Structure 1
């Protein structure tokens, strides 16, 4: 590159350098500063132009010198150039001719090429059309394959094929109309798949519902087998009796006999959940799981309603109606629980328990409505057995049985009423048909049977008994004892491992037994005390005595057999007090009869209280009275316990003494003669001698007042009665009010005796005789007519 031009140098030299530049760029770069300076300085611009013109002239001169030197060569070159030009023209003509020939062939070739291009385009279009057609045919084949799979029940495969068709193959033909048509049909196809799988699921559910009863029957059978195995284990180990069916201990002990009710070859039960799983998977794939869950729940609720009949016939001999109903519920509930365990987010425990509660309430309503038709406790016990088996089977599937336990409580109430009614009729018949005579026993075997069923202990050892013999109670007592034991046993039959209200059984048993004993035994016996036959009253009293003993034994028995472990304290039967009160009533009734007889005998006493001659013999009424007291002790009262006999005798003698004492105290008796006192004292002494023969000092105390009163009437010094010290010593048992009255009558009677004696003598002298007055035996002084 030339060096930079200094503006101070000569312009000619600068122009010269510019012309020597090797390129236009250098020329421009060197000329630009000069032109810039020339624009600012007009004089300098003129110099530049001159310099340039000078350079141009020098160059033209140089060219001219070169031309002048080489002219001939230039001419030769021109000639040669002309020849060349001529050849070039010829060549040009040939080239033009060749070009025309080539153009002609090229046009033909272009036409052929155009035809070829057109044919290739058509072929390409055909190929593309063929390819598009094949792709569309493949799409149609896949679409048809979805329907074929659907027809073959391959629902999930159909859904997978539809998904592949939609997400893969339709994208390849997305520019074609068929893609749009198939795309629009995809939702409809999905609905077809969903409906088909739901139809298959409904068919599966229908079959499951049809098999529910059989499944429940098998569940009941195996639950009963578990019961039997548990009972066998309890026999071997009493400790296991503390654990009920479905307890942890029982489940562990029964592990060796595991049984899958949903898959058992022996019972031919095969519950395949594949249709359910497939339906769930398909609906989940379709994003319609909530819809499926809702529809499945609604279907199960409808099926549940189909299980519930309008009514139940509880009177069937084999309980087929009730059993079938409970088995159907059990099978349905088992499938529900198994479905919940095998699936996720399909059936919640709330859904399953809601259906279970609904079925339980329906069962409770149906059974409760039919209870009024049952009048047999045995039938009700069978029904309870089926329900208890149902509960135990369902407990093993973790279902709550609280509401059914309430139904069992209702059944037990009905059962206890029927049982009470039946035994009430039995007791009533036993009491009404009894002969009320001591029960004869002819053999030791009969004696053992009676002792085994009744609460009776003989005074003699069994080995010392001689037969035939007579037991103190009548036949009704052992018969009632048999019924009492049967009643207890049948009441406890209702209690088992599944009845959780053992305290209710204990309380109901106590109350029912109390009512039976009080109303149908004790009350009826007390009503029969109105009899006028002392022997029958005595037998009733004896029976009441033994029933009281039996009640005490029953209290102990009920306490030991009490099934509720939470109950505390002793058991007291109201019947015990009722029988005790009945005994007192019977004793009073015997007192009444005995005292009434004593009253009748004493009313026959005929004393002439103003007689002047004592009776030669004991009064007839006194002889009859002592004979009656002797006979009743040795016959009628013989079967009574000693203490009761003594009490009756004590009361009878006390009453007799009171009634005898009332004879001289009668207001009609104004005066009592000494002879009448002797007669009266002789009768009293006869009674006292009779009592002495009984060898019971306590009984003799009843006569103390009577004897002291007679002694007071016989005393020669009546003033001793008014002396406190003497009275307490000699007449301490004499009534303070009666003593003065009798002394007054005796004092009046002493004067009457003298008057009667004088009158008699005068009448005799006048020829009139006075007959003897009659005493109780018809003797004694009295006026003759």
Structure 2
């Protein structure tokens, strides 16, 4: 700029003086701005953006560059001036440094030697420092390790304890240890990787504990099944002892107390004793073991608690109930010994059931909800019908009355035992009643054999005693009162045979045996009385009646025996009142008050038996008459009669005379009926002899012989063989034979034809058919005679014509039967 100013002339400067001042002012302003911008650039190291933007926006960046060039040159001049000022000092300094060089080298050697020595010493110190640091680090690690091990040690101890408890099968403590291991000790060392192994093992340990406790539960269930019979036996034994004590106490008080189905305080105390024994193990077993030794409930309690803690209680309850349900099915199955009338089989059956339900009742009160009252009642309700059905079925196989009584006692003891534990046993009373019916049937069957034995051993002769002892024995057995017999001399003869007192005693024995079953059944006196009467009625109307009917219908029973049986039924009928009194006596009732009682049907039964015996007497008489007529040996072509009755008729009349003497002890009506029936049957047989198709010929001599036989019978009828029997009535029995014989022997056909069909007929009992048969047989006999005689006499020819005429007229009559 100075050079530019020097080139301008004086004229130009003078003429444009004002413009130059203006330009100078503008130039100064721009220079200040550029200077300021340059300072900003120098002051700032990086952020030049706003400065460059200002320069560019003004559009004078070339001028700024020129200004920068001038500034650079200015700085160069300043540097040069500065160097010129300090150059001599620099030279001096160089000289001084050159002088110091030798000393510096010497110093350097010495320092280097000292450095080497120091390096050797420092290396040793550093090595020891490093060793010390390593030792301190190891020590720190050891301390830290010990601290962590002390933290981990309880975990390992608990783990070891857990393993030992599992090995010792202490599963419930092991479960507690497992809970502590999981929730207390593992969280304290959770940062270590080995804890993962423990966490993985915990579910396995739980599973192992669960499976092991379940195994113990299975062993417990098997043990319970094995020894529940023994527990049931002990419970029933205690119940029986309590009943004996209670009954003896009541006996001393003067009364008898029945315990069926109603638990008493002593029975409840017995229940407590058994429960305590189950818990404390104070009941002795067969081998000196206690009930607690036989059945240890601790596995069940442990397993139950373990499953509860594990949150799987429902699984445990379902499994236990299912297993016990299956065991109950096995328990309720009858044993094979029950089929053989073995009391041991019934005892074993009852003991198993009692043991099962006593254990369930025990668990009802010793576990929290494992066995509930509702479940127990439901199980018992399902078991009771099966028990009742089993008892009914197997008791029905029993044919021994004594065994049935023992079974009944066992059922009562079984019922009382379970009743004491709160089980509803009312259905068993119904079962006992049903078994009583079978017991009655067994007694009746036994009576059948006894009655048959009595009937087979009886002589069917009036019972005869030789002295007072024998007489008193009979009277004690059968209360027969007869003043004349009592005053008679020995030997005394009762009207009945030995069958009567023996049958009466057998019925009394039946009543006594039936009464034994009702003992301690908690029945009222009225119920017992009605029961005895009903059973006795069955014995009389079914058993004894059937035996008497069989006896009466025996083919081997003779007529005299039938007569004695009929007499015996008269006296057995009297026993009805005696039995009424006896039943009332043994049941504690009164004979006078019969309004509510079923009367014995013995009287009507014995009447029916006597009626049947009477019918058999009539039939036997007819059979005897038939047998006698089988001995008849008529010569039907006899020319003249023998002059007296046939031998068989004489024997028959003698038999009838003797037999009706034995009828003296029978009712008069029976004797009269028998006598009339005998005469009617004789008449029938005489008539049948003449009308028999096998007899082809009959001579008049044979008819006269028949008339002699008939006369013998009529004479017997007129002899009044039975007291108070009208002989005329007996003669009427022979009217058929009499009219036929009179008609042909007297040849009174004119009267027959004249009065035929009239009320005043002399031969109303002779039918045309009968007359034709007899007449044809007479003609046949006469025809044989003609073959012998070569020349017929005139009277024979007339007789033939007469017979032909009579036969023709008979055939013309109405053919009616009498």
SS of residue matched to 2:461:
coil
Question: In 2, Cα distance between the equivalents of 1:252 and 1:401?
Answer: 15
- The residue correspondences of 1:224-623 to structure 2 (distance < 5 A) are 224-241=240-257, 243-249=258-264, 251=266, 260-262=276-278, 263-267=281-285, 268-271=289-292, 272-304=296-328, 307=331, 312-314=336-338, 319-356=343-380, 374-401=398-425, 404=428, 408=432, 411-454=435-478, 456-460=479-483, 464=487, 466-497=489-520, 507=534, 510-521=537-548, 523-527=549-553, 533=559, 535-555=560-580, 557-558=582-583, 569-586=596-613
Q: 1-side partners of 2:730 and 2:230: how far apart?
A: 90
Asked whether 1:639 is paired with 2:660, we answer no
Q: Which residue matches 2:53?
A: none
Whether 1:147 and 2:163 are equivalent positions in the alignment is: yes
What is the CA–CA distance in structure 2 between the aligned matches of 1:740 and 1:112, rounded to whole Å? Answer: 179
Can you give the 5+ residue segments of structure 1 that lack an aligned partner in the other structure? Answer: 1-103, 600-622, 660-679, 707-736, 743-785
Distance 1:253 1:349 in 2: 18
Residue 494 to residue 301, structure 1, CA distance change in 2 (3 Å):
same
SS at match of 2:311: coil
Q: Report if the CA contact (8 A) 1:312-1:366 is conserved.
A: no
> What do residues 9-33 of structure 1 show as CA deviations (whole Å, max 9, x unaligned)?
xxxxxxxxxxxxxxxxxxxxxxxxx
CA-to-aligned-CA distance 1:161-180 (integer Å, 9 cap, x gap): 22222222222112222333
CA distance in 1, matches of 2:220, 2:385: 27
CA–CA distance in structure 1, aligned partners of residues 555 and 606 of structure 2: 13
CA contact (8 A) 1:215 1:331 kept: yes
- Unaligned runs of 5+ residues in structure 2 are 1-117, 627-649, 682-710, 732-756, 763-818
Maintained 8 Å contact 2:552/2:562: no
Are the counterparts in 2 of residues 650 and 702 from structure 1 also a CA contact under 8 Å? no
> Structure 1's 509 and 581: CA in aligned 2 closer, same or farther, altered over 3 A?
closer
Q: Matches of 1:626 and 1:332 in 2, distance apart?
A: 81
- Do the aligned partners of 1:431 and 1:525 also contact (CA within 8 Å) in 2? yes
In structure 2, what is the Cα distance between the partners aligned to 1:564 and 1:285?
A: 66
Q: Distance in 2 between matches of 1:132 and 1:484?
A: 99
Q: 2:337 aligns to what SS in structure 1? A: coil
Q: Is the 8 A contact 1:377 1:419 kept in 2?
A: yes
Comparing 167-176 with 216-225, which one deviates more in the overlay? Answer: 216-225
- What SS class does the counterpart of residue 665 from structure 2 fall into? coil
Q: What is the Cα deviation at residue 219 of structure 1?
A: 2.4
| Partner deviation per Cα, 1:407-435 (whole Å, 9 max, x = no partner) | 54564454444433332133223224422
Return the TM-score normalized by structure 1. 0.57
Q: Structure 1, residues 70-115: CA drift from partner, whole Å, max 9, x if none?
A: xxxxxxxxxxxxxxxxxxxxxxxxxxxxxxxxxx9xx999999999
Correspondence for 1:758: none
Deviations 1:659-688 (A, max 9, x none): 9xxxxxxxxxxxxxxxxxxxx9xx99x979
User: What RMSD over aligned residues (CA atoms) do the two structures have, in Å?
Assistant: 5.4
- Cα distance change, pair 274–516 in 1 and its aligned pair in 2 (3 A): same
Tell me, in whole angstroms, the C-alpha distance in 1 between the residues paired with 2:680 and 2:320: 96
Aligned to 1:208: 224
The question of whether the paired residues in 2 share the 8 Å contact of 1:431 and 1:524 is answered with: no
SS of the aligned residue for 2:568 comes to helix
Whether the 8 Å contact between 2:537 and 2:601 is mirrored in structure 1 is: no
Tell me the CA shift for residue 519 of structure 1.
0.8
Distance of 2:250 and 2:730 partners within structure 1 = 72
CA spacing shift, 1:588–1:702, aligned 2, 3 Å:
farther
Distance 1:289 1:586, change over 3 A: closer
| 8 A contact 2:541–2:601 mirrored in 1 | yes
On the 8 A contact 1:312/1:367 being kept in 2, the answer is no
Q: Match for residue 70 of structure 2?
A: none
Distance in structure 1 (CA, Å) of the matches to 2:263 and 2:208: 49
- In 2, Cα distance between equivalents of 1:245 and 1:252: 11
Distance 1:253 1:382 in 2: 25
Distance change in 2, residues 1:423/1:584 (3 Å):
closer
TM-score (structure 2 length as normaliser): 0.55
